[in-house]
């Protein structure tokens, strides 16, 4: 997804104060990855990722970065 499209979606999220869930299983692979929604709308984005897709299929570890203590 282009940066312009990501910014437009983040703008809608911010305008309507709607939470966003971003699943990024391959986030650790690209060297020059586009900005994540967690960077564009940090107060409303739940960023979900894991290690099985990037480090090894047997490694079943995932994590969630929440915008607040919700």
- 3-state SS class at 58: coil
**Whole-number pLDDT of residue 1:** 84
pLDDT tens for the chain, residues 1 to 70: 888 999 999 999 999 999 999 988 776 666 787 888 989 999 999 988 887 776 777 777 787 888 876 6
Map out the domains of the chain as residue ranges.
3-65
pTM: 0.74
**Whole-number pLDDT of residue 69:** 67
**Whole-number pLDDT of residue 8:** 96
Distances in Å between the Cα of 13 and the Cα atoms of 4, 8, 17 are 14, 9, 6
Q: Could you tell me which residues come within 8 angstroms of residue 52 by beta carbon, excluding any fewer than 6 positions away? A: 25, 58, 59, 60, 61, 62
């Amino acid at each position: 997804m282009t940066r312009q499209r990501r910014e437009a979606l983040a703008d809608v999220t911010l305008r309507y104060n709607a939470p966003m869930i971003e699943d990024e299983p391959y986030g650790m692979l690209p060297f020059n990855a586009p900005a994540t929604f967690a960077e564009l709308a940090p107060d409303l984005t739940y960023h979900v990722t894991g290690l099985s897709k990037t480090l090894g299929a047997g490694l079943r570890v995932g994590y969630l970065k929440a915008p607040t203590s919700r």
